[in-house]
């Protein structure tokens, strides 16, 4: 029934790990792997509850923690009002561009960042396992809103 090969792969992995795949869990899986918005657990819950109103927030947390432990999702903790966000669309470490006004979070496509781990290995001999690069700014929409209100 599922056509997305990545979701199928994750389902197989979870089944092998002994997890029961409920329709709610599958819906959470679909939301987190398809969204590029770096959702909070509450936002994931609200989207899944549109289809499965009985889904609990605890189920969302359990499922995202499971996916994180399986390397299928990254958890991003931010200080302040951005809170904890989940990125299941791109589970490998990558830089984030964060708007300090509206907490919008983007995955900037900058070639320099792709080359960074390789350069660090070359220059310092480290085998890079993970990294966290957060860049803060004010997005174009918030800049426009600020100039309108002045
Ligand atoms: Zn903004
Ligand atoms: Zn991301």
Q: Report pLDDT for 123.
A: 97
Q: Return mean pLDDT, the chain.
A: 93
The b/e string for 78-103 (b: 16+ C-beta within 10 A; e otherwise) is beeebeebbbbbebebbbbbbbeeeb
2-11 pLDDT, tens per residue? 568 999 999 9
114-131 pLDDT, tens per residue? 899 899 999 999 999 989
* Model confidence at 140: pLDDT above 90: yes
What are the tokens at 55? 């889904």
Which domains are assigned to the chain? Answer: 1-91 (1.10.10.10), 93-150 (3.30.1490.190)
* Model confidence at 137: pLDDT above 90: yes
Query: In angstroms, what is the span from residue 123 Cα to ligand 1's centroid?
Result: 36
- Above pLDDT 70, what percent of the chain? 98
36-43 mean pLDDT:
96
* Model confidence at 70: pLDDT above 90: yes
140-150 mean pLDDT:
93
* Model confidence at 141: pLDDT above 70: yes
* Model confidence at 95: pLDDT above 70: yes
Query: In angstroms, what is the span from residue 147 Cα to ligand 1's centroid?
Result: 13
79-89 mean pLDDT:
92
**Residue 113: Cβ-neighbour burial (10 angstroms; 0-12, 13-18, 19+):** middle
Query: In angstroms, what is the span from residue 30 Cα to ligand 2's centroid?
Result: 16
* Model confidence at 1: pLDDT above 70: no
Q: What is the distance between the alpha carbons of residues 119 and 126, in angstroms, rounded to a whole number? A: 10
What are the tokens at 26? 């599958």
Query: In angstroms, what is the span from residue 99 Cα to ligand 1's centroid?
Result: 5
């Amino acid at each position: 029934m599922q056509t997305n090969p990545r979701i199928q792969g994750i389902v197989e992995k979870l089944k092998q790990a002994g997890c029961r795949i409920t329709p709610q869990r599958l819906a959470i899986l679909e939301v987190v792997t398809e969204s590029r918005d770096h959702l909070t657990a509450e936002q994931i819950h609200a989207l899944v509850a549109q289809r499965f109103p009985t889904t609990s927030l605890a189920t969302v947390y359990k499922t995202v923690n499971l996916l994180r432990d399986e390397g299928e999702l990254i958890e991003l903790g931010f200080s302040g009002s951005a809170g904890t966000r989940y990125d299941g669309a791109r589970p490998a470490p990558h830089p984030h561009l964060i708007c300090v006004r509206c907490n919008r979070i983007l995955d900037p496509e900058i070639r320099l960042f792709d080359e960074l781990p390789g350069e660090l290995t070359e220059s310092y001999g480290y085998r890079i396992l993970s990294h966290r690069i957060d860049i803060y700014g004010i997005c174009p929409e918030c800049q426009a809103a600020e100039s309108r209100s002045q």
